Structure 1
Amino acid sequence: MRFAAIDLGTNTFHLLIAEVKNSSFEILYKTNVPVKLGEGRINENIIIPAAFERGLNTLKSFDEIIQKYDVDQVRATATSAVRSAENGQDFVSKVKEHANITIEAISGDEEAELIYQGVKLSGAIQERALIMDIGGGSVEFILCDQQSLIWKKSYNIGAARLMQQFFHSNPISDEDKGGIVHHIQNQLTDLFEICEIHQPQVLIGSAGAFETFAELITQKKNQTTDIKNVKTFNFEFDDYIATAIELINATHDQRAAMKGMIPLRVDMIVIAALITNYVMGRIQLNKLVLSTYDLKMGLLSQFINKQ
């Protein structure tokens, strides 16, 4: 059977098409489009008209691709930007009407579950781990080991939200950095309590910003690793820290000029670095792994398990 997974993120829309036979799969097609659905007014819970239009047009093109590949089943999930927007349901209705795609606006808890299933499929979970997925609207944390999911939670501290609320300088000022750190410190109290009990040994970064961190490092070191085509990537901790500090201290133009940077993440990567640094520091972790498998692979994993 052919299955299509669509992940409507706050920043990026993803489409993945796979051929599934028994418990195995082959990826036939994948793409992502920087729709920026949360642009402008995400903290006011509004999808602005330009973003609404971009999202609708992107899903129309996804539907054409799905038809071309003779897909048997489609599952499309929307996360923070749609579930929190006052006009989110209007967007869902318009997509059904004009792009023939039925969208599920999933909860933060469901989002975390799907991220866990995707990361598990990558083989990245080798010991007790804290999975972290930095989206535009929300950040998900999942505490797990090789056998089971221990705890999960979604927080409304995504990169687009924090950028619109706090990031007003170039390069980012100490005042803006302090505002971000203070905010996430207040939000993540229960995360640190549960980590104190269960003591994760590694932070697994789910795709997104962590792929960009890996791209920047491999490009800088002239390594041949193709991040787009690996399931996992083990960071050298010193490489990650040096890269994170460089990103935080750089101007917008300096970040844009870095090899491996994509336009969507030029500014939001600063937020991602600040959150990651703070979490690793608080939990005293110095081991970081990338899983390129994320929510859309979680959708595929659930489909496979139902066969």
Structure 2
Amino acid sequence: MLEIKKYGAIDIGSNAIRLLISNVIVEKDKEPRFKKSSLVRVPIRLGADAFVNGVISEENTKRMVEAIEAFKLLMNIHKVVRYKACATSAMREAENGNEIVDKIFKETGVKIDVIGGKEEAAIISSTDLNELIKGDNSYLYVDVGGGSTEFTVFSGGKIINSKSFKMGTVRLLNNKKSVNKEIFASVEKWIKKNTKDLKRVSLIGSGGNINKLFKMSGRTEGKPISFIYLNAQYQFLKQMSYQERISELSLNPDRADVIIPATKIYLSAMKWSGSRKIYVPKIGLSDGIIKSLFYNKL
């Protein structure tokens, strides 16, 4: 007997807000299958408010309410049976974050959970990441967001250590150079300390920017990107202006600037861990929310 139900996940990030709707296919004596049905991304850059001014503006609050209302309507049309909305670092750090959560609930009926970096990493690690980390190999998982980056070290199929750093792409764009230098130094120290005894570490990258870089590489799904290729791409992107990245590479305006600091984070992580390749399984917080919902972990 075949049963198909739809689940929804709302991911309120620092660079964009996303709605993922997935079909969960359940057959007797088989593992459940999770198949993406619809993904909607709205570029509301909350981090530009939260990390610079400490509060989310009235304009972006209004846009958020409208986006969540639209997401709710879409989920109704898709006949989603269960959904969950999670917000990350921008909403966490905004002084009016809780106020906005209350406002959205009052106006849309959608309850938003503002989650911490460790919880975010735990939700993401419940995804198909398990397929990659089997065996005795060692991996450094790097999830780059707009406000923070989560690092998790896996070895022998187990989590060795994990940490969230305030090293997001939107934040890096708005920080002073001296502040960014300090953050990179802290991350370098943590990665080197936690990977020094591991052999042949490979990176696993998640986030919209590495997904875009992977698509641009033309690699076959499941095949890694090399350090050499990623570094060459980084130098190429840096030489182009913001306008050229939009007109010549067809990057979205809200992707064309953050892709530079994102690539720098992945390259730095590869260098500090001694990794020569990065796998891009195209997973993220939204996927983790849906799996956690299905298995009643949220």
1:155 matched to which residue of 2? 165
Match of 1:290 among 276, 280, 288: 280
Tell me, yes or no, if structure 1 residue 207 matches structure 2 residue 199.
no
Unmatched tracts of structure 1, length 5 or more: 167-175
Instruction: Kindly report the root-mean-square deviation, in angstroms, between the aligned alpha carbons of the 2 structures.
Output: 2.3
Extract structure 1 runs of 4+ deviating beyond 4 A: none
Q: Which residue of 1 aligns with 2:88?
A: 79
Other-structure match for 1:131: 141
Q: Percent identity?
A: 25
Corresponding letter in the other structure for 1:125? I
* TM-score normalised over the length of structure 2: 0.87
Q: Distance in 2 between matches of 1:15 and 1:94?
A: 19
Q: Which moved more, 1:248-257 or 1:261-270?
A: 248-257
| Matched-pair contact (CA < 8 Å) for 2:50–2:94 | no
User: Contact 1:205/1:289 (CA < 8 Å) preserved in 2?
Assistant: yes
The alpha-carbon distance between structure 1 residues 285 and 26, as it changes in their structure 2 partners (threshold 3 A), is: closer
Counterpart-to-counterpart distance in 2, 1:19 and 1:279: 34
Query: How do 1:103-142 and structure 2 match up within 5 A?
Result: 103-120=112-129, 123-125=131-133, 127-142=137-152
Partner residue, 2:271: 281
In structure 2, C-alpha distance between the alignment counterparts of 1:207 and 1:186, rounded to whole Å: 21
CA shift for structure 1 position 18: 2.2
Query: Alpha carbons of 1:39 and 1:51: their partners in 2 closer, same or farther (altered >3 Å)?
Result: farther
- Decide which of 6, 9, 14 is 1:2's aligned counterpart: 6
Aligned amino acid, residue 234 of structure 1: P
Distance 1:119 1:21 in 2: 15
More strand by share: 2
After superposition, what is the alpha-carbon deviation per residue over 1:187-236, rounded to whole angstroms, capped at 9, x for unaligned? 44223211213446211111311012123333xxxx7x6xxxx5x45214
Q: Given the alignment, which residue of 17, 22, 25 partners 2:21?
A: 17
Aligned to 1:255: 245
Helix, strand or coil: the match of 1:118? coil
How many pairs does the alignment contain? Answer: 286
The answer on whether the counterparts of 1:5 and 1:16 sit within 8 Å (CA) in structure 2 is: yes
1:265-292 Cα distance to aligned partner (Å, 9 max, x none)? 1111111122222221122211111121
Provide the C-alpha distance between the structure 1 equivalents of 2:250 and 2:122, rounded to a whole number of angstroms: 30
| Cα distance in 2 between the residues matched to 1:164 and 1:279 | 21
CA distance in 2, matches of 1:260, 1:132: 25
Larger CA deviation: 155-164 vs 36-45: 36-45
What residue ranges of structure 2 are gaps of 5+ in the alignment? 27-31
Q: Secondary structure at the match of 1:282?
A: helix
Aligned equivalents of 2:199, 2:181: Cα separation in 1 = 22
Task: Say which SS state the counterpart of residue 249 (structure 2) adopts.
Answer: coil
1:245 is matched by which residue type in structure 2?
Answer: Q
Residue matched to 1:195: 195
Distance in 2, Cα, partners of 1:46 & 1:277: 31
Q: 1:33 to 1:189 in 2, by over 3 A?
A: same
Amino acid at match of 1:157: M
Supply the distance in 1 between the matched residues of 2:280 and 2:250 (Cα, whole angstroms).
16
Separation (CA, whole Å) in 2 of partners of 1:29 and 1:237: 32
> Is the CA contact (8 Å cut-off) linking 2:105 and 2:111 kept in structure 1?
yes
1:90-145: per-residue Cα shift (whole Å, max 9, x none)? 11111111122111101110001112222516x34353211111111101111124
